[in-house]
A and B are shown apart, each in its own frame.
Chain A
Amino acid sequence: MNLIETTGSHHGLERDDEARRGAKAMTSWQNNRGARDARIAAGAGLAHGKVVQARDATRLLEAVIRPGDRVCLEGDNQKQADLLSRALLAVDLSRVNDLHMVQSGVVLPEHLDLFDRGVAKKLDYAYSGPQSARIARMLFGGKIELGAVHTYLELFARYFIDLTPHVALIAAVSADRDGNLYTGPNTEDTPTVVEATAFKDGVVIAQVNEIVEQVPRVDIPADRVHFIVKSDKPFFVEPLFTRDPAAITEGQILTAMLAIKGIYAHYGVQRLNHGIGFSTAAIELLLPTFAERLGLKGRIATHFALNPHPALIPAIESGWVRQIHSFGSEVGMDDYIRARSDVYFTGPDGSLRSNRAFCQTAGLYACDMFIGSTLQIDLAGNSSTVTTSRIAGFGGAPNMGADARGRRHPSEPWLKAGAEADPDSPAALRRGRKLVVQIGETFGDKNVPLFVERLDAIELAEKLKLELAPVMIYGDDVTHIVTEEGVANLLLCRTAQEREQAIRGVAGYTDVGRRRDRAMVAQLRERGVIRRPEDLGINPLDADRSLLAARSIKDLVRWSGGLYAPPSKFRNW
């Protein structure tokens, strides 16, 4: 009973009652709320307040989840609700089955075991890094009914339209007795998942590392959380963004030098996102050395949408970086971030607040450049990390690596790229262009060529009868390709043939590279479409590891003043 009903006029009450009687006879408008309340009531028997013992987690899930439900099992890029995924795997199949999993990351073996066991049937996801080989086998074997492979923002968007979870199983650092959650530095997807679930009559169950009197900060308010399960072990977090400087090659250093001089400096790129490969780690480590000597400090690489990459520590310490917003955190970076709150986003408790949905939006709309690696690039510039035996998913790259058609604010690099692509349109009506740079060595791991005539993704789509080949970045979004052989500026290509030859012209000794039209490539070089190291005043013999601001993980620790605490697998001293 609410206030208006109890104090309404006599006349009004009559009408309301009539309306209610009519609605009862015809249709109810609160079925979902009723169903949600019934689920919560079914689980409440296992709970003290909201708290459920870890040993009762499976029984809780059996009570709350219904066959065929859409379930978001928090599966982020890094943070994993591992206790809840094990609990879900153990359910009685007669009570819980045929679930439709809607989760951004398929990362743990248990995420796929759910399909092997028949707990789950259908999958909509975005990223499957460590499970990429197994997910491919299971798709081919028909074990998983695939909805689609999404980008993060795309899947998050569908949480609010047609993939809203009935139940969300999430992970947090701590909870208080009321259910307020502290998600800590790895907040990642949690606010988005909870928003979509809790406000559309879904049930939210959180695993937490500890239950405390008062949480350090409220990341998720208690009235959006229905059950809390205390885990014996902290939730699993994978260090995904740590690149050991010791493994950076001279080829990667050369490629990084070409990118800095040929693209960062050329366009004056200040706001950007980096991928997680070694080439971009090399760029981060060349900012305080090579780029500093070029006088670029303050002119490039000042604002990032980026996870807390340890490789960026020397640039931060040298005063290069003004601000970083992060999708997630990185293992070992917590104390450093806390001590550098001028640079990172932090809460009143001092620790990082990450948020994948906001950071993806920032990367899409407020960054002028994305630069990252890929596994395959075809002759039109389409790129994919899918191979015939691995489906790694997309994660964030397609959002970062796409021109935002809704963008309206100008900036120097955006306008300059737009003018290069379309010199003839009147400036006031010309769209700018996001710089989308694919960087890599012409031959990757085990001498597998980066450049191909035809993407494996097409073969995969044919075999799985998918309507769309899983292309990570479409060719018409890619503006530059950088390899050790040079920089290809695709904005300056006017025909498909020019584009193909520009790509072949930086494809080195791969089959694609050796089949170039030498005369046309020479012509493209004269026009500045292709720029070789010597065209940029770079001597490949100068690409030396001594240029790296840090040459080991230990160097990074030293740069951080001891604040960076690398995970043990990166400690070799």
Chain B
Amino acid sequence: MEDLNFQHQVRARASGTRRSAVVGVVASGNLEVLVERALPDAQCVVDIRTAAMGFGEIWSAVIGDFVERYSPGGLKFSINDGGARPDTVSLRLAQAVRLIAEDGQ
């Protein structure tokens, strides 16, 4: 197992009012993302626990592009990764943002 942590300053707060959401599952080649609206509006934190060692550089690139594209201000992401491919990670993060952008609990 490897733990990674990324912190970004972001342009804008993520839309919606929902407090938290979960997408994906922990399985081989997949990942679970818990997203919580828990931070100041200009901050984004991504905590990763991954089964695949030595992919820190790729995670950094994937998370960097994601933050740039979606501006997920105020959101804390906790990722439980079963060795997912980078495109699956990008997709799950985007799905998490879409889900928490909904109104409601």
Contact B61 A540 (CB under 8 A): no
Is B10 engaged at the interface, CB distance under 8 Å to the other chain? no
Partner of B86, one of A249, A443, A543: A443
Is B98 engaged at the interface, CB distance under 8 Å to the other chain? yes
Is A251 engaged at the interface, CB distance under 8 Å to the other chain? yes
Is B34 engaged at the interface, CB distance under 8 Å to the other chain? no
Is B15 engaged at the interface, CB distance under 8 Å to the other chain? no
Contact A509 B58 (CB under 8 A): yes
Contact A251 B98 (CB under 8 A): no
Chain A residues near B52 (CB, 8 Å)? 447
Contact B87 A508 (CB under 8 A): yes
Is B85 engaged at the interface, CB distance under 8 Å to the other chain? yes
Chain B residues near A441 (CB, 8 Å)? 85, 87
For window 58-73 of B, CB contacts with A under 8 Å fall at 58, 61-62
**Distance in Å: Cβ of A455 to nearest Cβ of chain B:** 21
| Interface membership of chain B positions 79-105, coded 1 if the CB is closer than 8 angstroms to chain A and 0 otherwise | 000010111101100110010000000
Q: A443 to B83, alpha carbons, bound, how many Å?
A: 11
For window 237-273 of A, CB contacts with B under 8 Å fall at 249-251, 254
| Interface membership of chain A positions 483-524, coded 1 if the CB is closer than 8 angstroms to chain B and 0 otherwise | 011000000000000000000000011000010000000000
Partner of B85, one of A251, A254, A514, A541: A251
Is A442 engaged at the interface, CB distance under 8 Å to the other chain? yes
A-side interface residues, number (CB < 8 Å):
17
Chain A residues near B90 (CB, 8 Å)? 540
Contact A447 B87 (CB under 8 A): no
Q: Which residue of B lies closest to A252 (CB)?
A: B87
Given known contacts A447-B52, A447-B55, A509 and B88 CB-to-CB distance under 8 angstroms: no
Contact B61 A443 (CB under 8 A): no
Contact B86 A250 (CB under 8 A): no
Partner of B98, one of A443, A485, A508, A541: A541
Chain B residues near A484 (CB, 8 Å)? 87
Chain A residues near B87 (CB, 8 Å)? 251, 254, 441-443, 484-485, 508-509
Contact A541 B83 (CB under 8 A): no
Q: Which residue of B lies closest to A484 (CB)?
A: B87
Chain A residues near B91 (CB, 8 Å)? 250-251, 254, 540-541, 543
Given known contacts A250-B91, A540-B94, A543-B91, A509 and B62 CB-to-CB distance under 8 angstroms: yes
Contact A509 B98 (CB under 8 A): no
**Distance in Å: Cβ of B33 to nearest Cβ of chain A:** 14
Chain A residues near B88 (CB, 8 Å)? 249-251
Chain B residues near A446 (CB, 8 Å)? 83
Contact A509 B94 (CB under 8 A): no
Question: Interface of chain B, helix or strand or loop or mixed?
Answer: helix
Q: How many A-B residue pairs have CB under 8 A?
A: 42
Q: A254 to B94, alpha carbons, bound, how many Å?
A: 14
Q: Which residue of A lies closest to B89 (CB)?
A: A509
Chain B residues near A541 (CB, 8 Å)? 91, 94-95, 98
Partner of B61, one of A250, A509, A543: A509
Contact A514 B86 (CB under 8 A): no
Chain A residues near B85 (CB, 8 Å)? 251, 441-443, 447
| Interface membership of chain A positions 533-559, coded 1 if the CB is closer than 8 angstroms to chain B and 0 otherwise | 000000011010000000000000000
Chain B residues near A447 (CB, 8 Å)? 52, 55, 83, 85
**Distance in Å: Cβ of B5 to nearest Cβ of chain A:** 19
In this complex, which of B52, B55, B58, B88 has the most chain A Cβ atoms within 10 angstroms of its Cβ? B58
**Distance in Å: Cβ of B97 to nearest Cβ of chain A:** 9
Q: Which residue of B lies closest to A251 (CB)?
A: B87
Q: Which residue of A lies closest to B57 (CB)?
A: A514
For window 444-464 of A, CB contacts with B under 8 Å fall at 446-447
Chain A residues near B86 (CB, 8 Å)? 442-443, 508-509
Chain B residues near A509 (CB, 8 Å)? 58, 61-62, 86-87
Q: A251 to B83, alpha carbons, bound, how many Å?
A: 15
Q: A484 to B62, alpha carbons, bound, how many Å?
A: 14
Q: Which residue of A lies closest to B28 (CB)?
A: A446
For window 15-29 of B, CB contacts with A under 8 Å fall at 29
Chain A residues near B83 (CB, 8 Å)? 446-447
Partner of A514, one of B61, B94, B95, B98: B61
Q: Which residue of B lies closest to A446 (CB)?
A: B83
**Distance in Å: Cβ of A452 to nearest Cβ of chain B:** 16
Q: Which residue of A lies closest to B52 (CB)?
A: A447
Q: A541 to B55, alpha carbons, bound, how many Å?
A: 25
Q: A543 to B92, alpha carbons, bound, how many Å?
A: 12
**Distance in Å: Cβ of A513 to nearest Cβ of chain B:** 9
Chain A residues near B62 (CB, 8 Å)? 509
Q: Which residue of A lies closest to B29 (CB)?
A: A249
**Distance in Å: Cβ of B65 to nearest Cβ of chain A:** 9
**Distance in Å: Cβ of B84 to nearest Cβ of chain A:** 9
**Distance in Å: Cβ of B36 to nearest Cβ of chain A:** 20
Q: A251 to B87, alpha carbons, bound, how many Å?
A: 7
| Interface membership of chain A positions 347-391, coded 1 if the CB is closer than 8 angstroms to chain B and 0 otherwise | 000000000000000000000000000000000000000000000
Q: Which residue of B lies closest to A445 (CB)?
A: B29
Q: Which residue of A lies closest to B59 (CB)?
A: A509
Chain A contact residues, CB within 8 Å of chain B: 249-251, 254, 441-443, 446-447, 484-485, 508-509, 514, 540-541, 543
Contacts A251-B91, A441-B85, A540-B90 aside, 9 further interface pairs with beta carbons under 8 A come to A254-B91, A442-B85, A443-B86, A443-B87, A447-B83, A509-B58, A509-B62, A509-B86, A509-B87
For the complex of A and B, list the 9 residue pairs with the smallest distance between their C-beta atoms, beginning with the closest: A509-B86, A443-B85, A484-B87, A251-B87, A509-B58, A509-B61, A250-B91, A541-B94, A541-B98
Enumerate 5 A-B pairs (CB-CB under 8 Å) in ascending A order. A250-B91, A442-B85, A443-B85, A447-B52, A447-B55
